[in-house]
Amino acid sequence: MLLDPYKRKINYLRISVTDRCNLRCRYCMPEEGIPLISHEEILTYEEMLRVVHIFASEGISKVRLTGGEPLVRKGIVDFIFRLSQIEQIKDLSLTTNGILLKEFAQDLKQAGLKRINISLDSLKKERFLQITRRDDFERVWSGIEEALRVGLSPTKLNMVAIQGLNDDEIESFARLTLHLPLTVRYIEYMPSGNGEDWKQDDILTIPQIQSRLEKVGELIPIPSDQWDGPAKRFRIDGAIGEIGLIGAVSSHFCGECNRLRLTPDGKIRTCLFSDEEIDVREILRKGGSDEDLKERLLVALKTKPEKHHINTLQFRKCQRNMSAIGG
Ligand code: SAM
């Protein structure tokens, strides 16, 4: 078992497989994109698999693939298949913007992916274009339908709720759960990324979101299970789907954080909001041993901060963009 100095059990690795993305969400990056990591610097799948094998032997049992947009990286289906064969990995998931999902859903399912998270901030075509700078709402929606059709379960929709941008859609997202087996999760807008400037006033806090949801119907709490992470779960009375609330900013869940992140260029990050990075690429490329990689993992555990400092004077926005960390 991997324990950090605060006695948190660390069993979850998020891998950003690429920093490339096929959307340009305003809150994440500018229109022209951000400087990209060169292809040579990005870990190969073989390198990522070696890291996962070793970390899994030490106690990592949950892996999520993210990015950038993971489905734009060639060979992702085979990578997922190989991850699914690692005995100690009990939970394997993927976060996508859904643009390529219609084409990929069946193959992902066959490769061993069980569940999927799809990021979607608007159900309105024009607003989707305004937020993402791409006119692709229909593609994402057909990707969601395909995920449900092939049985990726649960299929979760992640909505970042931003004051004055899409907060009028909180209820419409919740209503989807009345007739579709979707989990709709609301995520507080966080101070990260290189997009338009984040302001405290832009955040809709989880209590604010919750009180809007109560207008749709009674929220019935659902007990968490071991793979749930920090989301508080609810079902609207009579709904077939679920609601999840994730208060990364307002309700510090750092005390329960079980995560490490691996960036596309082979750095372990111990907190989304800390720029501390522990390099594993050098070990991978200079003939380092499995013991050397385990030692890096232990360094990461030791340096994992107790909590993030959003809302304090100490807080500094992190240097890397979300797309190169893995949101
Ligand atoms: N391309 C994939 C996707 O769209 O899900 C994975 C990468 S994306 C960076 C992961 C998630 O981070 C998305 O749900 C996105 O909305 C979220 N995200 C990016 N910037 C954010 C911010 N400042 N606050 C909250 N969530 C953010």
**Dist. CA 151 → ligand 1 center (Å):** 24
| Angstrom distance (rounded) from CA 68 to CA 325 | 8
Residues with CB under 6 A from ligand 1: 21, 27-28, 66-67, 69, 95-97, 119, 158, 160, 187, 189-190, 192-193, 322-323, 327
pLDDT at 193: 66
Span 216-274, pLDDT tens digits? 999 999 988 766 778 899 999 999 999 999 887 776 778 889 999 999 999 999 988 88
List beta partners, residue 268: 262, 278
Residue 187: pLDDT over 90:
yes
**Dist. CA 246 → ligand 1 center (Å):** 13
Sign of the torsion formed by the C-alpha atoms of 30, 15, 185 and 198: negative
Each as own residue / partner, the long-range contacts of residues 218-224 (CB below 8 Å, 24 or more positions apart, any chain) are 219/243
Span 115-139, pLDDT tens digits? 999 999 999 999 999 999 999 999 9
* For ligand 1, atom 2: residue with the closest CA: 96
Quickly state the pLDDT bin for 203 (edges 50, 70, 90): confident
Residue 327: pLDDT over 70:
no
* For ligand 1, atom 18: residue with the closest CA: 327
Residue 324: pLDDT over 80:
no
